[in-house]
């Protein structure tokens, strides 16, 4: 899936207005991240973090919670690089501020 170029396409899907497409795309990206730190970095490098972070500003409660869960998985599994750790800590702060997680 990753070798076929699916990650950038999933990042594009997150940007679409359809909520179910956003949820499914975010879920697929988190599934990719679960397999290895290298795959998680591929997702980060594709720009997914910024778009996942914007999902918590959506009025849909399920989408907000889903977004926080995705970052929770990323943090739990691949928080070993300092760059990645700071991105996740910043996102968590936003989640707490908006009382999403």
The domain spanning residue 10 has which CATH number?
Answer: 1.25.10.10
**What pLDDT does residue 49 have?**
81
Asked whether residue 78 is assigned to any structural domain, the reply reads yes
Per-residue pLDDT of the chain (101 residues; tens, 9 = 90+): 667 688 999 999 999 999 999 989 988 888 887 777 788 888 888 988 888 888 878 888 888 877 777 776 666 665 555 555 656 666 666 666 656 54
Model pTM greater than 0.85? Answer: no
Q: Total structural domains in the chain?
A: 1
Asked whether residue 22 is assigned to any structural domain, the reply reads yes
Q: Which residues contact 12 (CB under 8 A, 6 or more apart)?
A: none
Q: Which residue range(s) make up the domain with 11?
A: 6-97
């Amino acid at each position: 899936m990753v070798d076929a170029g699916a990650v950038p396409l999933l990042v594009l899907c997150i940007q679409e207005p359809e909520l179910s497409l956003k949820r499914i795309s975010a879920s697929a990206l988190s599934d990719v991240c679960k397999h290895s730190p290298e795959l998680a970095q591929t997702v980060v490098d594709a720009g997914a973090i910024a778009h996942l972070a914007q999902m918590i500003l959506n009025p849909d409660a399920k989408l907000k919670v889903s977004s926080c869960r995705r970052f929770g998985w990323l943090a739990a599994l691949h928080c070993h690089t300092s760059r990645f750790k700071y991105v996740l800590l910043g996102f968590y702060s936003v989640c707490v501020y908006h009382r999403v997680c």
